[in-house]
Structures are given as C-alpha cells and as structure tokens.
Amino acid sequence: MAEATDQNGSTTPVPILRQVFAVVLAGGEGNRLKHLTRWRAKPAVPFGGKYRIIDFPLSNCVNSGIARVAVLTQYKAQSLIRHLQRAWNFLRHEVGEFIEIVPAQQRMGKEWYLGTADAVAQNLDLLRRHRPRYILILAGDHVYTMDYARMLASHVERRAEITIACIPVPLAQASHFGVMAVDEENRVVRFVEKPSQPEPIPGQPEMALASMGIYLFDAEYLYALLLEDRDRADSTHDFGRDLIPHALQRGDRLFAYRFVNEAGKPDYWRDVGTIESYWRANMDLCAIEPPLNLYDRNWPIWTYQAQRPPAKFAFDDEGRRGMAVDSLVSAGCILSGAVARRSILFTNTFLHSYSTVEESVLLPNVEVGRNAKIRRAIIDKHCRIPPGMEIGFDREADRERFYCCPQSGLVVVTPEMLGQSFRHYDPQEDF
C-alpha cells in the first residue's frame, strides 16, 4: 500500500497495482513481417487461431491487476483500432479502469513518433493527468503470458528506478535484441541495443541475456529522463538505444527482472517480428504440451470473436475424411472431406474435399479448393486457393507466384498474389 493525497490534504491507502499506468507501444511498421503487415499494424496480426498479437500484453495487464492502459498507435492502425474497440471495451472507466487508444497526434511539435521513447514523451500530459507512481512500458507485438505484479514487487523491493524484464536467448539470435550484463545482485552494468557482437552470459557462452522490451519506471524519474532525452541532439529517442544506456552512464539504479517459470527455468516469450518466428510460434501451439498454455483458466487471453457456429468435419469415406490432427481449428471452419495436420485454421476457413493442409497457418475466411495441397505456408485473410493448386512443394514455382522466405522456404500467400480483388470481403471483417 501507499498513500494518495486529495485536494483537502487528507490521505488514503492506495493498492500498489492501482498506482501503475501501462503504456503499450503499438505503432511500429512491422516491415519484417512482409506482406502480413501491408494493410495492418504488427500488433493487429492474427495469431493462434482466434487472437491478435496485442491481446497477449493487454491480457497480461488485466490478469495482473493493471487496469489503466494506453495503447499508442501510428502506422496502419485502422484494423488495430477496430479490434481494440470491439475486444477491449469491457473495462469500467467509472471505477478507474480503461484502455485508451492514443494515436500519434503531434502533441509536442510537428513530428510523428520518432522512436519508442519519443512516443511516450509526446504523451507526457496524458501520463501526468493520471498521476501514476509507476509506469510500465510494453511492446504490443510479443507473445507471452506474464504476471507484471511480480515484476513490480521486485522493482519496489530493490528500490529500482528502472527494472528491465529479460530472458536468455541463443547468442546467434541476440543481435536482434537489447543485450545486457548484470552483477550478482542482478543490477544492470552494461546494455547495448542490437549489438553486432553480443556479450554472452558468464558460464553460458552460447547464450546472451536479452531485454524483452518490458520496462518499469518510477514515474517522476521517467518524466525527467524523457525530457532530458528530448533535448539531446544526438539521440534517436529510443528506450534501448538511448534512455537505458544514458541512465547507466549516470549511475542510476537499473535492475534486471528474469522471466522464469515456477521451476526457475526461462518462461515462454516470443518476438514474432519475422515470417519465420511468427510461423514457428503458431506451430508451437500445435504441440501435445504447448509451451504457451492457452487453456489456463486462471490466465485467460481475452479477445474479440464474431459469433460463428462450431467447427464441422464432414465425410468419413476412405480418402475423403474430414479430420484435423495436432491442429487448432476455430469456430466457423468446415473441413469437408479434407485433412489438416499440425496447422492453425482461423475462423471461417473452408477446406473442400481431397484438399490437405500441413504445417500451415490459414488466417480467417480462407477457402481451399478441391484437391489443393498446402504445406509450410501462411495464407492471409480472404484468400481463395484454386482447386488443384499446390503450395509449398515446388520452391521455384512458389517464388514465381508468391513470397518465399529465402532461408526457410516458408510461403506467404495474399489475395493480391492470387489476382483476387476485394469484392468477396466481408465488410464486418478487418484486414
């Protein structure tokens, strides 16, 4: 508990979680997801059969007891905004619970958001209006489940000014993250954003300690740091590149919070910022015991979903059997004498007879024609796969028609690549 003082000077106890204000950064372009972010922001990309990526950090907030949240948007935000309006309007502002959508508005000048820190700095008036004691900065494009209350407890116990959530990652992948070094008390002693030569963890030469892009600040400390950074001509106004290293140079109290499970092992967290990582994270859900548990009733992932009938599996003839194995099949799907193996089928997917789908992700409203075959592919919303078409079997043919990842060979298919127009889109559905 802490105390709040009203206009009459009297004080009342305030639960500590009600003193936290969460800011979700959801304005990035998401270029590495290629065609999946052509019409939508990365946090709005569908994931896991029925969710959007942003549902994970927002669900973490609500489940952690943090119910004052601002989502900062910028690029291609229409689909994201519509989803937030539909899925996240159940909080009650009358009792101090809300999720506000905050588009880039040039509130402090003529520039759009110049970096992650600048996005928060341009909304300092919003933050100050709510008078939080702590500010939690989150990325809107990561997939994980995490109790932020535990991170807050660690922050308070250590009297930290900044707490950074971290997790070990393979050294070969560490160049994509902020990499830190800590002492025996988990105080951060070095931090480099996306280093070309990441520093390994002592005793673990093949691993590096990576930032998860989750920062917890004392509010007044953050305000001062942001204003100081805004006046620095050499700054890119980014948390990882500028604010965190600058705070270290000043000798401020920065601590790492290790994201571990009950067994003390690193928990599940994925930056799904590339085609390969997005596909792999979806495939993780198809495992017999998936590392990300969507079935935990004590930690539900909230979302919006249209009212659709249950999934249907039709025909039981030899060679024409509607079935799905090691797959997630959402409401409104029909597998009419077709087979899906280790795949994710989003809402309203229709597989016609004798078609097969393997190790693939089919986003909502996809139709797969008779005798078509799909393997190791991501099929975007509203695609109509013609009868007999094969995807994922001939790399040269795939390159001529679709986007084919150079290393993995994963195929991405959009309606435009199939020469299909918008005429069959459901106006009630988002991009």
Q: Which residues are annotated as a binding site for alpha-D-glucose 1-phosphate?
A: 113, 178, 193-194, 211
Q: How far apart are CA 163 and CA 256, in angstroms?
A: 6
Assign 3-class secondary structure to 272-332: CCCHHHHHHHHHHCCCCCCCCCCCCCCCCCCCCCCCCCCCEEECEECCEECEEECCEECCC
Nearest one of 349, 406, 340, 342 to 379, comparing CA atoms: 349
Q: Where are the beta strands (DSSP E) in 50-206?
A: 51-52, 68-73, 98-103, 134-139, 142-144, 162-170, 178-182, 188-193
Assign 3-class secondary structure to 91-114: CCHHHCCEEEEEECCCCCCCCCCC
Instruction: Let me know: does 260 contact 203? Beta carbons within 8 Å.
Output: no
Nearest one of 47, 91, 52 to 69, comparing CA atoms: 91
Element of type H or E holding 157:
helix 148-157
Show the tokens assigned to 208: 């590096």
Phi-psi region of 182 (alpha: psi -120 to 50; beta: other; left: phi over 0): beta
Which amino acid, one-letter code, is at 333?
C
Cα atoms in the Cβ-side hemisphere of radius 13 Å centred on 105: 12
- Residue for token digits 């508005």? 105
